[in-house]
Homo-oligomer: A and B are copies of this chain.
Amino acid sequence: MAREKLSSAAVDEALTRLNGWTLGSDGGSIARTFEFRNFSEAFAFMTRVALAAEKMNHHPDWSNVYKTVHIRLNTHDAGGLTALDIELAGKIDRLAGGSTGR
């Protein structure tokens, strides 16, 4: 179930419960950019996300430049978004705490 592709209605509904995630142009991924005060805080956040992702066995595509972290989620095997992506996005939102999402 968790790896079943979500309908676009289900994705839209999930996005209203998340914080600042946007749907990719192809509708097959969601992304959010996080800003921290410095590299140390950005990487501390990444470490917490890495632990959560490893625990779920569901991993982000992400990049970091100094204090900015960009995260993109999708489920490769399903060719789009699944409940796993929504669950991980929710966890990431909670871990982001004081960051400025943009």
Contacts and interface: CB of A to CB of B under 8 A. Distances in A.
Query: How many identical chains are in the complex?
Result: 2
A1 interface: no
A7 interface: no
A39 B63 contact: no
Interface string A50-74: 1001100001111111100000000
A70 B68 CA distance: 16
Contact of A59 (B50, B60, B66): B66
A62 B65 CA distance: 7
A64 B72 CA distance: 11
A59 B39 contact: yes
The 9 A-B residue pairs with the shortest CB-CB distance, nearest first, are A63-B63, A43-B50, A61-B65, A39-B59, A59-B66, A62-B64, A39-B54, A40-B54, A62-B63
